[in-house]
Each structure stands twice: as structure tokens, then as C-alpha cells.
């Protein structure tokens, strides 16, 4: 019999270890730029109508504002509870009559000070309802796109996918292209990446396979994104390029507030508001 409590604990430990390694790497980049910026960590507990939920879980919001990373959030959370009957109907495996759930995951968004450095989003997660599954991905969001950066980002995630199933990358790349689209603007949020969801774990063997893939997605991100940052972070930029970045950030904010599933999930399950909205840029303009 599958022990989902143990599997959730294993996934949580991995997400926390990945966070620690990502944050250490980002702080190293700040040191290379002559900055002493470091992450601050704020724990939070799941609430309902402003009151802590007993055994509801919570998380830790990691936030850094530096010379290279104008604002970067790396959050890990593990929450338990019950969906509202209406929201349960939108969640894989959730039953309005038995809407219990557990969710653990890591979520990262980085907005960069230099418009030549691409912003980025990455998250991976493990959820249990009546079913259990992994989801996640990563996508690159450059205000000033470079073909080399885009190619390197896609190639690294393709390698991670191909190690598990050659069908994964074309499927998950197309899913990202479809998901990270702003319908009211009729433009994509960035240059894509991969997005996957509902990799179901019907038994222990499926859990191990999907957990291994999810770990490789995290490793791919940690390998490729710092390389892109170091490649571009010292390039000069002018006021016109900075304005282009700020206008692009406005589009990013629109997507996350109107269309992003993760934002909605956090708001519907009593998550920490600051952690949920850490994806919003520190500055943006609408022309």
C-alpha cells in the first residue's frame, strides 16, 4: 500500500534542498557583482479568515533584493486541508464530497535589474487528493530576448525530458507555449520552456519515476539559469531598454493576476498573501 505521507515528506525535503542550493547560487552571483545581498526567510502558517489553521501547514518565503536580482523570491510550502466544494471541482482527483488535499512544492520568480538578463519562473510540486501527482516546469521571460539564451534554456530542459521519455519535451514545451499566453494581449508571456501537470502516481513505481523526473527538472534549472545570468549581467543598458523591461513587466503582472493557476490555488487555499504575490515585479509601467 502506498504511503503518501512518506512520499510527501520526501518531496518536501527535496524541494527544500533545491531551494537552499538555488539561493546559495544566487547569492554567489551577487558576490561576483560586488553585492552583499542575501536572502531573508519568513515562515508563515496557513490561515482561514485570518486565523491559523490547526495542522494546516505553511511554508517559508525566501526573498532577496540585490544588485543583479532586483527581486527574487524562492518559496517552499507544504499545506493540508480541504478545498471548497466549488474549487474542488477544478482540481484533479478532488471530490466535492471529500475535498481533502495535501500539497508541497517550490516556486521561484526572479526579476532582474539588467534588462539584458532574462527574468525566469520555475516551480515543481506534488499534490494528493484522491489521486496523487507531480507538476511543474520552468519558463524564460526576457525583456530583450537573445536567441542563444533561448536555445540554451530549451536545450537543457529537453535533455532533462529526454532522459525520461522522448515524448516529454515536445508535449511539455507545447503545453508551456499554450499556458504562458496572455489572451487579452494575444502575446506569449516569454519565450517558453516546459510545463507539465497531472503526472499521476498510481503506485510506488510511478511515484519514483515521476519524482525522479521532477528532480531532474530542478537540476536543469539550477544548471542553466545561473549561466544565462552570468552571461548577461554586466552588459550595459540605456533608459530605453530599461523602459522596455518595465513595460514587459506590466504584461507579466497581468498574466499572473488574471490567468496563473498557482496564484489562484494559493489564494483559494489560505496561503500567505506575500508569498503568493512575490511573483509580481518590484517596478512596472503601463504605457
pLDDT above 70: percentage of residues in the chain: 94
Q: Which residues are catalytic?
A: 121
C-alpha 274/C-alpha 221 separation (Å) is 24
Write down the pLDDT at residue 93. 66
Share of the chain above pLDDT 90, in %: 78
Give the model's pLDDT for residue 3. Answer: 76
Predicted TM-score (pTM) of the model is 0.92
**Contacts for 37 with CB less than 8 Å, ≥ 6 apart:** 27, 30, 64, 65, 66, 67, 69
Phi/psi-derived region of residue 64, left when phi > 0, alpha when psi is between -120 and 50, beta in every other case: beta
Q: Answer yes or no: is pLDDT of 73 > 70.
A: yes
Sign of the Cα torsion 216, 217, 219, 223 reads: positive
Residues 216-226, mean pLDDT to the nearest whole number: 98
Instruction: For residue range 21-71, list pLDDT tens digits in order.
Output: 999 999 999 999 999 999 999 999 877 666 777 778 899 999 999 999 999
Cα Rg, the chain, nearest whole Å: 19
Q: Can you tell me the mean pLDDT for 106-129?
A: 97
DSSP-assigned states of every residue in 16-55: HHHHHHHHHHHHHHHHHTT-----EEEEEE-EETTEEPTT
| Continuous segment of H or E residues that includes residue 10 | helix 4-32
The pLDDT of residue 117 is 98
Contact 245, 115 (CB under 8 A): yes
Structural domains in the chain? 4-279 (3.40.1500.10)
Amino acid at each position: 500500500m502506498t504511503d503518501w505521507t512518506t512520499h510527501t515528506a520526501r518531496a518536501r525535503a527535496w524541494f527544500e534542498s533545491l531551494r537552499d542550493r538555488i539561493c546559495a547560487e544566487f547569492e554567489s552571483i551577487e558576490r561576483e557583482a560586488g553585492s552583499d545581498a542575501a536572502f531573508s526567510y519568513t515562515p508563515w502558517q496557513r490561515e482561514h479568515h485570518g486565523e491559523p489553521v490547526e495542522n494546516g501547514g505553511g511554508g517559508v518565503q525566501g526573498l532577496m533584493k540585490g544588485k543583479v536580482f532586483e527581486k527574487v523570491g524562492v518559496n517552499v510550502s507544504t499545506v493540508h486541508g480541504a478545498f471548497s466544494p466549488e474549487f474542488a471541482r477544478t482540481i484533479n482527483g478532488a471530490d466535492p464530497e471529500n475535498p481533502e488535499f495535501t500539497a508541497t512544492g517550490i516556486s521561484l520568480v526572479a526579476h532582474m535589474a539588467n534588462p539584458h538578463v532574462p527574468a525566469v519562473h520555475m516551480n515543481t510540486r506534488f499534490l494528493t487528493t484522491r489521486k496523487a501527482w507531480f507538476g511543474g516546469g520552468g519558463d524564460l521571460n526576457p525583456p530583450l530576448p537573445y536567441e542563444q539564451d533561448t536555445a540554451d534554456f530549451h536545450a537543457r530542459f529537453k535533455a532533462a525530458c529526454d532522459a525520461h521519455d522522448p515524448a516529454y519535451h515536445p508535449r511539455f514545451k507545447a503545453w508551456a507555449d499554450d499556458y504562458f499566453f496572455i489572451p487579452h494581449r494575444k502575446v506569449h508571456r516569454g519565450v517558453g520552456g516546459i510545463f507539465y501537470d497531472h503526472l499521476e502516481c498510481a503506485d510506488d513505481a510511478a511515484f519514483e519515476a515521476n519524482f525522479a523526473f521532477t528532480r531532474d527538472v530542478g537540476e536543469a534549472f539550477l544548471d542553466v539559469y545561473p549561466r544565462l545570468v552570468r552571461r548577461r549581467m554586466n552588459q550595459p543598458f540605456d533608459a530605453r531598454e530599461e523602459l522596455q523591461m518595465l513595460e514587459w513587466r506590466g504584461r507579466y503582472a497581468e498574466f499572473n493576476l488574471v490567468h496563473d493557476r498557482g496564484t489562484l490555488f494559493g489564494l483559494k487555499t489560505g496561503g500567505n498573501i506575500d508569498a503568493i504575490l512575490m511573483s509580481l515585479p518590484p517596478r512596472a509601467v503601463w504605457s
